[in-house]
Amino acid sequence: MRSTNEQATAFKRLHTPGNPLWLANVHNEEAARIVAAKPRSKALATASFSIALANQTEDSKLSLETQLAAIAPIAAVAREYKKHLTVDLQDGYGDRLGEAVGKIIELGAVGINIEDSDQATGAMIPEVIAVERIRRVLAAATEAGVPDFVVNARSDIYLREGDLEAAIRRGKGYLDAGATVVYILGYKAGPLSRGDVEKIVKALGGRVNLAMRLPRPGQKAPTLHREDLADLGVARVSIGPQLFHVPPEEVPAAVAYVLGE
């Protein structure tokens, strides 16, 4: 078995603009096994929103302890199938950020998703503090022996306030602080258009995570389809909590769609 940092280094290399890492986010062991067994699966990624739902709670009320308990069997699947593991750590659990990073590394995680809005209130975390938190994550990971830990820094200001320029500015700060990629959501303010994505990709040098919507019967077609995303030059694509809402019998097909099988 490679060391955790060797795994982190290999995971980081999978984030290639124009040849993105495709992630079908999971919420329990069953979903993790379906994803891990797919030939094109490179990594397991969790989604805190769906982990909360699977544990009869809300995302804003999901404790670190419940998160860790839910991640443990997913981490076991990652080890069994020799897949990288990245964890959605929400807003980082405040003063427990360093502790949280250390504990998920103990479980085998080589990366996290961390957002820049307060989980409880929805308020944006001040930019200077949000940048410093990226450094804190990497300092805690380095202390745990994983200096190449992968940070997917989610910028929520476009989601909450419709300010794309601020999201890009924050994203640049997060990359400068050591994040591997930046994740900008756009659902509340409206879906990101092709022009928006092109602007984000250019400004951030392709070091971008995009959300992909699964095609679902009776729902409006996605603005950007799977085949569009690599062409736009992003480095990572994920689906958040969507698998939780897919009927069990349709999950394998949904995962295959995400992974391009």
Backbone angles phi, psi at 189, to 5 degrees: -80, -5
Under DSSP, is residue 85 helix (H, G, I), strand (E, B) or coil?
strand
How do residues 107-145 score in pLDDT, each as one tens digit? 999 999 999 999 889 899 999 999 999 999 999 999 999
Q: Which of 76-80, 227-231, 255-259 has the lowest mean pLDDT?
A: 227-231
pLDDT at 62 over 60: yes
Q: Which residue has the higher pLDDT, 9 or 230?
A: 9
- Which residues 6+ apart lie within 8 Å of 77 measured at CB? 29, 32, 33, 36, 44, 83
Task: Please give the distance of CA 6 from its chain centroid, rounded to a whole number.
Answer: 20
How do residues 242-256 score in pLDDT, each as one tens digit? 999 999 999 999 999
* Total domains, the chain: 1
The domain that contains 72 carries what CATH number? 3.20.20.60
pLDDT at 1 over 50: no
Q: For 79-89, b where at least 16 C-beta lie within 10 A, e where not — what string?
A: eeeebbbbbbb
Under DSSP, is residue 230 helix (H, G, I), strand (E, B) or coil?
helix
How do residues 74-111 score in pLDDT, each as one tens digit? 999 999 999 999 999 999 999 999 999 999 999 999 99
Full residue range of the structural domain in which residue 122 is found: 4-259
pLDDT, mean over the chain: 94
Residue 5 to residue 50: CA distance in whole angstroms: 28
